[in-house]
Amino acid sequence: MPIQNQGPHFCSDDSDLLSEIMSARRDVRGNRFLADELAQEDIEQIFAAALMAPSVGFSQPWEFITITNRTTKELIADSFFIENEKAKALFQAGKFEVGKLEQYQQLKLEGILESPLNIAVFYNPKNGPVLGQTSMPDMGRYSVVCAIQNMWLKARSLNIGMGWVSILDPIKVKTILNAPQDRELIAYLCLGKVDKVSISPNWKPSSGRKKRHHSRSFFPTATNKIALAHPSIH
């Protein structure tokens, strides 16, 4: 008899396609966006992808505000310009690597006004304990980030560019959008069709750092650490 409630079985081509989409994902900036409005069907698919994300205790703590009004975008952009000047001052003060200020000043770091659709993503904390979140309270925020990553990958699969703007004052953004006081801004996203998608990432550190190989992304196990500190212990 066939097994009931069994999920789909994916083939190697499916896995390769997913890897290709993940590898082709880029943080898109304002100099790449086109003014064309996005199809409503595409927008709905991107939001549907967000809702497929895992969430701690099935809390689904994400909330979204879509922004298309030019005046609202300009207010958000003003916050970016203020915060960006603060960031430049930090680089200028020599608190980062030499040469990064010049590199930073040349970067286009947002697409708030250029992209046809902006989306503010908020974390809605739950009242009372949430299963799986009692010991690690940030799990709710991480759940929202999972939804954002789903949106990013779905957008890329639809040939829609998406950029995450983090150089913003979250309190000002929340005030501009009249979001409830207990909500927390996790991301401000810019979406739109693009003239081209970069093959390589936009941000190339002046130090020449390359994408980290997976073998360098693992810590040794606790047992290995003990063995290194005390070779006689097995």
Strands of the sheet with 117-123, listed across from one edge: 62-67, 117-123, 184-192, 161-165
| List of residues 6+ apart from 64 with CB closer than 8 A | 47, 50, 119, 120, 121, 122
Task: Give 195's contacts (C-beta < 8 A, 6+ positions apart).
Answer: 32, 34
Measured CA distances, 207 to 96, 119, 211 (Å)? 11, 33, 12
- Could you tell me which CATH class the domain 20-197 is placed in? alpha beta
Q: Quick count: other Cβ atoms within 10 Å of Cβ 73?
A: 18
**Angle of CA points 81, 87, 118, to nearest 5°:** 45
Q: To the nearest whole number, what is the mean pLDDT of the chain?
A: 86
* Tens-place pLDDT, residues 72-89: 999 999 999 999 999 888
Sequence-ordered list of residues with C-beta below 8 angstroms from that of 150, at least 6 positions apart, any chain? 49, 50, 52, 53
Residue with the larger pLDDT of the pair 65 and 90: 65
Reading the block at residue 225, the tokens are: 């650490």
**Can you say whether residue 48 is alpha, beta or left, with left for phi > 0 and alpha for psi between -120 and 50 degrees?**
alpha
Encode pLDDT of 176-230 as tens digits: 999 999 999 999 999 999 998 776 665 555 455 566 666 666 766 655 554 444 4
Tokens linked to 139: 């799990």
pLDDT above 50 for 233 = no
Average pLDDT of the segment spanning 114-135:
96
Query: Are 68 and 117 within 8 A, CB to CB?
Result: yes
Weakest-pLDDT range from 43-57, 85-99, 117-131, 159-173: 85-99
Coil, strand or helix: which one is 153?
helix
DSSP string, 19-53: HHHHHH--B--TTTB--PPPPHHHHHHHHHHHHTS
187, 171, 167, 185: which is closest to 88 by C-alpha? 167
Q: Which residues of 185-205 are buried (b: 16+ CB within 10 A; e: fewer)?
A: bbbbbbbbbbeeeeeeeeeee
Q: What pTM value is reported for the model?
A: 0.85
